[in-house]
């Protein structure tokens, strides 16, 4: 479905974040964003809510698993559920997604097996899943590097004459990286069918966004001649609408779009972080009032839906997801040592075989000393 372009043209100052559902649940109107979600029924909004509840439950369970020693580390997404679920549900299955390490809700929506989300954090494998089984690359740890992968993939789509799109997710801290700026330059130059989805969660670990970006992040896209938009990242409908519009532009050959989703990381950067050392209680309390789940509950209540009913159903489903996640993780078999050499290269070669043999002899020596 073709939709009118509502992105901020290059050369125009970035607008205030677009919001369709206010923190108190009030529906706000913004044409043609409204048109982009006109087909989304109340039941469909309740499904988006259920996805967000499940994502938050995955986050809670994974954090508990890390604290219980089952995982080495975990990067929570608490507070960013709307940005991720809304955008992910706008995608077609044949689009390809490139993310950092915090897009667990995107992975959930793409159909990644629950335990595969945690394999790498448990140390059982170098990566998590087969990217081509769900059209989503495994998480990129190097900050911003996945934007280059997305641009390259999008250029390939264009050269092949496809109508798919490539989507790159990254945080506010990544926009200062050279990789991201190179990716934006190439995508704009080649008018690649790419969507750059920046989750501005206000903190790059302990560095506030205002320190590294003196203008709204979306405004940086102007320098690349790229369409851009700022949305309320805690509003799942705004996230869905903006991504749909950006994808339509990409499929129509109108080039890349930069989306800045203004949101907030309610938890730590990772389970190794202590955010109380660099941000105030007042700030956290202020953002808790913009909770993406509570606002959809409030919105659906204004639509006459029984809140207790759909909340109970969503929480029941989330509990089942969490139970399956825990069972999958704790039931993982320890990998054989040879697996560390697998999937490093497409084909085996002499240098890799030599390393494998040397490592095997080293383990035999160590195990012998321990006996």
Q: Is 269 among the residues known to form the active site?
A: yes
Q: Is 30 among the residues known to form the active site?
A: no
Catalytic pick from 228, 265, 295, 326?
265
d(C-alpha 243, C-alpha 189), whole Å: 21
Query: Closest Cα partner for 143 from 165, 170, 166?
Result: 170
Contacts of 235 (CB under 8 A, 6+ apart): 19, 20, 21, 82, 86, 292, 295
Ramachandran area for residue 31 (φ above 0: left; ψ -120 to 50: alpha; else beta): beta
Contacts of 214 (CB under 8 A, 6+ apart): none
| CB-CB neighbours of 174 under 10 Å | 23
Catalytic pick from 269, 295, 311, 326?
269
The string of DSSP codes covering 102-156 is --HHHHHHHT--HHHHHHHHHTSSSS-S-HHHHTBPPPP-STTHHHHHHHHHHHH
Q: Is 277 among the residues known to form the active site?
A: no
Catalytic pick from 27, 67, 92, 278?
278
Only one residue has tokens 């389970």, namely: 271
The residues annotated with a catalytic role in the active site are 265, 269, 278
């Amino acid at each position: 479905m073709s939709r009118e372009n509502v992105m901020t043209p290059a050369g125009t100052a970035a607008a205030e974040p677009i919001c369709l559902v206010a923190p108190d649940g009030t529906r706000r109107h913004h044409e043609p964003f409204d048109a982009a979600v006109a087909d989304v029924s109340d039941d469909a909004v309740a499904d988006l809510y259920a996805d967000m509840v499940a994502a938050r439950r995955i986050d809670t369970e994974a954090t508990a698993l890390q604290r219980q020693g089952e995982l080495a580390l975990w990067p929570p997404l608490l507070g960013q559920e709307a940005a991720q679920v809304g955008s992910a549900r706008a995608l077609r299955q044949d689009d390809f997604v490139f993310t950092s390490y915090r897009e667990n809700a995107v992975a959930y929506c793409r159909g990644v097996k629950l335990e595969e989300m945690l394999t790498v954090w448990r140390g059982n494998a170098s990566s998590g899943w087969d990217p081509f089984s769900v059209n989503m690359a495994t998480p990129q740890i190097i900050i911003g590097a996945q934007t280059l992968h997305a641009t390259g993939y999008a250029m390939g789509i264009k050269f092949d004459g496809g109508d798919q799109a490539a989507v790159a997710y990254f945080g506010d801290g990544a926009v200062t990286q050279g990789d991201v700026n190179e990716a934006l330059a190439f995508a704009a130059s080649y008018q690649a069918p790419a969507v750059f989805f920046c989750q501005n969660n206000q903190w790059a670990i302990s560095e506030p966004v205002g320190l590294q970006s003196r203008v709204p992040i979306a405004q940086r896209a102007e320098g690349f001649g790229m369409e851009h938009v700022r949305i309320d990242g805690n509003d799942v409908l705004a996230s869905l609408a903006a991504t749909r519009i950006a994808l339509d532009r990409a499929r129509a050959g109108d080039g890349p779009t930069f989306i800045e989703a203004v949101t907030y990381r309610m938890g730590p950067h990772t389970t190794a972080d202590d955010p109380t050392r660099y941000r105030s209680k007042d700030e956290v309390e202020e953002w808790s009032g913009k909770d993406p789940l509570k606002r959809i509950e409030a919105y659906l209540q204004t639509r006459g839906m029984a809140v207790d009913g759909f909340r109970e159903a969503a929480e029941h489903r989330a509990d089942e997801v969490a139970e399956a996640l825990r069972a999958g993780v704790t039931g993982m078999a320890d990998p054989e040592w040879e697996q560390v050499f697998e999937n490093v290269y497409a084909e085996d070669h002499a240098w890799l075989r030599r390393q494998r043999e040397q490592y095997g002899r080293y383990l035999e020596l160590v195990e012998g000393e321990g006996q």
